[in-house]
Amino acid sequence: MLDQMTPAERGAAIAKGLQADRLPCNPNVANGVARIYGCKISQFNRDPKILAQAQVASYRRFGYDSIRIFTDLFPWAEAMGAKVKFPEDDTADLEQPAISDVSKISTLSPADPYKDGRLPVQLEAMKYLLDEVKGEIGCSCGVVGAFTNAFFLMGVDKTLGMLKKDPESVHRLCRVSLETVKAYAAAAMDIGLTPTISEPMSSCTVISPKDFREFSLPYLRELVDFIKSRGKGVIIHVCGQTNKIWEDLAGLGIAGLSIDNVASIAGCKLAVGDKTKILGNVDPGGIMYSGTVLDVRLKTLECILDGHDNPKGYVVMSGCSLPVETPPENIQTMLDTVREVGYPVCPDRVREMIAACKEQMPDEEGTDA
């Protein structure tokens, strides 16, 4: 089944309440685009053209609704002095924080996105990306929030301990982090991309809502307001459980809230669906990576049933970035299921499709039911 509209046409039609061919869908393929394009993930760290071309190749194959320049969580901390390890063909990881003692916070300086670390590579990739698909599909760039970046400057365990023992130093880390991510966001917007914000350390699985409101929310608000002042809508993703901070996040005036698979679309819709679009939340590991095509189809349908009538809109999406080795047939199944459902969504038909899926599911002993 082929799409009848480009992603840009689809998004504009739905926003205006007009007929569209289907709901927007973004599987969040992430660094798995290397498998589609046929390159090593490590090439993304030094070759902007390959980074952009891999993103375009994956989009061309599956036909999803958004492309994002985002390789890992660490380019901003790296640009401020952290050490990052780069596997030959896997996602980068933090090797050593930028500093090891609060006395060194004063030595940290905001990164220059045009000079420091891998940030110039990513900015250059954005230009190649727009050369290929501008006007056809929305293009964004990922950036971590100031609070999350602070953890990578000092180290996760040490920063967690500082929330109670040395809150002033945490705020100092967040402040210098914010200047880095704002500078990067500004450079990306100058090119023409829209920043999206990832704040995994703000998860209620990691910190309390009280700590979120004290240490993360003020800097998120400043970053969101900065991006909005440039005429861009902001989508935020926070991993894990987030129900206790949904109101805080939606209150920032964001364009969309991306939720993890452990969260509830129905609950999020009830809580903040009148304030923001919801994106999510097919399980990236248990379903998209490890599941069968039937598992993917079933969960995609269930998410559509829960989210399609959200007052501010809904995007079918995975609950987080997909694992690199996610089977391409599972990604294709998510898109094909969304295409089959069409738009506007008929909930009774979706329920029938769900029932048909469940009839095909094997029983607990692994034999056909």
CATH class of 7-360: alpha beta
Contact 3, 19 (CB under 8 A): no
- If we measure between CA atoms, which residue out of 295, 246, 293 comes closest to residue 273? 246
Strands 314-318 and 138-144: unpaired
Please, what are the averages of pLDDT over each run of 10 residues along the chain (369 residues)?
A: 95 96 98 98 97 98 98 98 97 97 97 98 98 97 98 97 98 98 98 98 98 98 98 97 98 98 98 98 98 98 98 98 98 98 98 97 60
Calpha distance 97→316 (Å, rounded): 35
Query: SS3 for 67?
Result: strand
| Residue 3 CB coordination number (10 Å) | 16
| Residue 255 CB coordination number (10 Å) | 18
Calpha distance 144→283 (Å, rounded): 21
pLDDT at 363: 80
Instruction: Give the H or E element holding residue 280.
Output: strand 277-282
Calpha distance 32→288 (Å, rounded): 12
Calpha distance 340→324 (Å, rounded): 26
Query: SS3 for 152?
Result: helix
Strands 235-238 and 194-198: parallel
Calpha distance 87→324 (Å, rounded): 13
Calpha distance 239→257 (Å, rounded): 11
| Residue 331 CB coordination number (10 Å) | 23
pLDDT digits (tens, 9 = 90+) for 308-362: 999 999 999 999 999 999 999 999 999 999 999 999 999 999 999 999 999 999 8
Instruction: Give the H or E element holding residue 93.
Output: strand 93-96
Calpha distance 67→57 (Å, rounded): 11
Each domain of the chain, given as residue ranges in start order, spans: 7-360
pLDDT at 364: 60
pLDDT at 367: 44
